[in-house]
Structure 1
Amino acid sequence: MRDVVVVGAGLAGLSAAWKLQEYDIEVIEYADRTGGRIHSEKRGDYWLNWGGHVYAGEGSATDNLFKSVGVSAEPVPGTLSAMSLNGKLLLNGRVEFYPFRVPMSWKSRISLLFAGAKVRLAVMKYGKAAEHRKGETYFEYQQRILEFMNDKTFSEFTGDLPEDADAIFRPTVSRSTGNPEEISAGAGIGYFHMIWNKKEGLSRNIIGGPSVLTEKISGALGERLKLSAKVERVVQYDNYVSVTYIKDGERRTIEAEYVIMATPAPITKLIVENFEKDLSQALGEIKYGPHVSAAFLTDETDEQVWDDVYAFATPKRSFDIFIHSSNIVHSKSSERKQGSTFMTFSPAARGRHLLDKTDEEILEMYLKDLNEILPGFEEKVIEAKVEKFPLGSAYVYPGRAGIQACLTENKGRIFLAGDYLGTLYTETAVQTGFKASDEIEQLLERK
């Protein structure tokens, strides 16, 4: 009998496995690689990236994981608030003045100013609400954050906006993979807070690409990691948990003292057979939005307008944001290196619209938009690849706070981990992976 079986080798599962690696563990992953929505590939000094690209800073659980594994991460350099709208490319300047620098109607400008002031005030309130309190547990903290303005959608909070005003807010809010009409007002405000708060938000790049982290953990696990293995059922008994999975055409059943379910909520609900009815129902109420992304490698040799920019917001395009992945490499070079790498990101409704299209169709749409934003871009591209994530991320909807207690209470011998258990994306994944492993370690040591 194993000490622990971890089902799922995304960031949450790998974080838990890393802390439990001194025990008799087994990690089972359905895909042929680890990392889940963290996926990058090296290209010389650069890396192509399709998933999570920024991570929490000093003092976070993510930072502790980085240091323990031996991964380097540095603050994102360059401009984070560039924007392309209505034929105008803005690379610098105060965001508050963007409405006066982009072609749009005065009605849109005035609506945007009023809505922007409303959002900024709410972000200040969110910042105070998000301050940690002495003696507060992680899940108590997350419960408070989930309850912040959880009674209405972000669209209801801002009110009806003219097209251009709505277009400027939408790319930021929808990065959560929920549309402004779907996510809670508090979640939308929290996303703005996370972007603007460089100290506590997601603000660092992993040097070498995000998969450096997941690959190092996978290497340490060795043969205890089973890839391309489909878990069919997980059953909890009084003294153990059984896990049945198929690998290489063979059905296998293993037993363990404890199991960590680090899979998306609907998958967890599907394969764990004897959860309590209320927990199973709560898992079914978690809402996910898709995202589609593409990575591009270019071969230019001269300076480009993007050299000092990390992120472009791209309203009204086939993607909501354009990330300059190689920015951190260029920022460290005394001479301009050849080439660059980029990521386009289409979440929520835009991603849903692309899921059924072929990779070729998606790239054609992306490159058309990129050429209009950055003339001649396609001529510089030497590699491009699309990746689709139907279960992109869980987003917080009005009423989501009501099921948090059910999701985080004791489950006997089965522990849950994953970003759907909180509001901080990759940081929540690491936090919940650590929490599950810590509780299991205490139980094993006590035994």
Structure 2
Amino acid sequence: MKDVIIVGGGLAGLSAAWRLKSHDILLLESDDRVGGRVVSEKRGDYWLNWGGHVYAGEGSATDELFKSVGVHSQSVPGKLTAMSLNGKLLLNGRVELYPFRVPMSWKSRLALLCTGAKVRAGVIKYGRVAKRKTSEDYSVRQQRVFDFMNDKTFSEFTGELPEDADAIFRPTVSRSTGDPEQISAGAGIGYFDMIWNKSTGLSRIIMGGPSTLTEDIACTLGERVKLNSAVSEVIQHEDHVTVQYTQNGETHRVDARYIIMATPAPITRKVVKNIDPEMGNALDQVTYGPHVSASFLTGETGPQIWDDVYSFATPKRSFDILIHNSNVVHSQSEERKPGSSFMTFSPAGRGKKLLDKSEEEIIKIYLDDLNEIFPGFSEHVVEAHVKKFPLGSAYVFPGRGKIQPLLTKPDRRLYLAGDYLGTLYTETAIQTGFTAAQNINDLLNYQN
């Protein structure tokens, strides 16, 4: 009998396994690789990336994991507030003055100024609510964040906006994979806080690409990680848990003292057969939005307008944001190295429109937009690939805070982990993986 079985080899499951690696554990992953929505591939000095690209900093669970695994990270370099709208590319200057530098109606400018002031006031309030108190458990703080302005949508908070004003706010909010009409006002404001306050939230990148972290963990765990292992059934008994999974066409059953379900909420709900009814009902309410992303490798040989920019907001495009992954390499090079790497990100409604299209169709759509932002961009492209994530991320909807206590308490021998249990994406995944593992670790040590 195993001590612990962990279902799901994404960031949450790997973090749990890392903390439990001194015990007899088994990690089951249905895919042929670990990482889940953390996925990157090295290309010489650069890397292609399709998923989580920024991570929490000093003092976080992420920081603890980085240091213990030995992964090198650094602060995101360059500009984070570039924007392309209505044929104008803005790279410098104060964000508050962007409405006066982009072609748009005065009605849109006025709406942007008024709504911007309203959002900034909300960000100040959010900062007070989200600030962690001394010796406070992260889950208490997380509940406060969930409850902040959780009674209305972001669209209800801003009111109806003119097209250009709406277009500027929408890409920031929808990065959560929920559109402004779907996510709560507090969640939308929290996302602006994450973007505007570089010293808090998610502000670091992993050198060599995010998969450096997940692959290093899996390498250390070795044969305790089983890929291509699809779990079909989890049943809790009085003193153990039984897991049934299929690998290479063969069905296996294995018992363990405890189990961590580090899979998306719908999958957990489907495979755990005798789950606590209240927890099951809460899992049913967790709502996901899709995202589609593409990664581009270019081969230009000289300096480019994008060299000192990390992210571009791209309202009215097929993607909401463009991430310049090679920015960190260019920022550290005395001479500008040839080529660059980029990621386009289409969450929520934009992602939904692309899910049924082929890779070739999506790349063409993206390149049409990229050529308008950077004339001649497609001439530099040497490699391009698309990945689709129908279950992109779970977004915070009005009323989400009410089900949090039902999701964070264990169900007998079962613990949950995953980024859907909080609002800080990769940090939430790691923190909940750590927490589930530590709770089980305490029980195992007590029993021994």
What range describes the TM-score normalised by the shorter chain of this pair? over 0.9
The corresponding residue for 2:229 is 229
| Aligned counterparts, 1:108-257, within 5 A | 108-257=108-257
Q: Which residue of 2 aligns with 1:320?
A: 320
Structure 2 equivalent of residue 272 of structure 1: 272
Name the amino acid aligned to 1:293: S
Distance 2:214 2:304 in 1: 32
Give the counterpart letter for 1:233 in structure 2.
E
Distance 1:102 1:182 in 2: 28
Q: 2:49 is matched with which residue?
A: 49
- Secondary structure of 1:242's counterpart equals strand
Deviations 1:296-334 (A, max 9, x none): 000001110000100000000000000000000000000
- Give 1:362 shift: 0.3
The corresponding residue for 2:438 is 438
Give the match for residue 395 of structure 2. 395
1:52-67 equivalences under 5 Å are 52-67=52-67
Counterpart in 2 of 1:411? 411
The aligned residue for residue 425 of structure 2 is: 425
Q: Distance in 2 between matches of 1:199 and 1:302?
A: 32
TM-score (norm 1): 0.99
SS at match of 1:335: coil
Superposed CA offset, 1:140-173 (max 9, x none): 1111110000000000000110000000000000
Kindly report which structure 2 residues correspond to 1:285-324, keeping only aligned pairs within 5 A, or say none: 285-324=285-324
SS in structure 2 of the partner of residue 318 of structure 1: coil
Which position in structure 2 is the counterpart of 1:102? 102
Mapped partners of 1:9, 1:200: distance in 2 = 27
Q: Aligned AA for 1:414?
A: L
Task: Tell me the secondary structure at the aligned position of residue 15 of structure 1.
Answer: helix
Give 1:367's aligned amino acid. L
Query: CA separation in 1, counterparts of 2:11 and 2:308?
Result: 30
Is 2:48–2:343's contact at 8 Å kept on the other side of the alignment?
yes
Q: Equivalents in 1 of 2:230, 2:41: separation in Å?
A: 25
**Displacement after TM superposition at 1:135 (Å):** 4.0
Q: What's the Cα RMSD here?
A: 0.6
- How far has the Cα of 1:133 moved from its partner? 2.0
SS of aligned partner of 2:52: coil
Q: Contact 2:150 / 2:186 at 8 angstroms: preserved in 1?
A: yes
- Offset of residue 378 of structure 1: 0.1
In the TM superposition, residue 291 of structure 1 has moved relative to its aligned partner by 0.3
Aligned to 1:82: 82
What's the secondary structure of 1:179's corresponding residue? coil
Q: Secondary structure at the match of 2:77?
A: coil
- The CA deviation at 1:138 is 1.9
For the 8 Å contact 2:6–2:28, the answer to whether it is kept is: yes
The 8 Å contact of residues 241 and 256 in structure 2, kept in 1 or not, is answered as yes
Q: What secondary structure is seen at the aligned counterpart in 1 of 2:293?
A: strand
**Count of matched residue pairs:** 447
Letter paired with 1:253: R
One-letter amino acid of the structure 2 residue matched with residue 164 of structure 1: D
Distance 2:348 2:228 in 1: 28
The Cα shift of 1:56 comes to: 0.4
Tell me the secondary structure at the aligned position of residue 176 of structure 1. coil
CA distance in 2, matches of 1:21, 1:440: 12
Q: Which amino acid aligns with 1:26?
A: L
Q: C-alpha separation between the residues in 2 aligned to 1:6 and 1:409?
A: 17
- Partner secondary structure for residue 372 of structure 1: helix
1:197, CA displacement in angstroms? 1.6
C-alpha contact 2:409 2:415 (8 A) present in aligned 1:
no
**Conserved 8 A contact 2:410-2:416:** no
Unaligned residue ranges in structure 1 (runs of 5+): none
Give ranges in structure 2 of 5+ residues lacking alignment: none
Question: Counterparts of 1:446 and 1:312 in 2: how far apart (Å)?
Answer: 51
Q: Give SS of 1:396's match.
A: coil
CA distance in 1, matches of 2:200, 2:218: 28
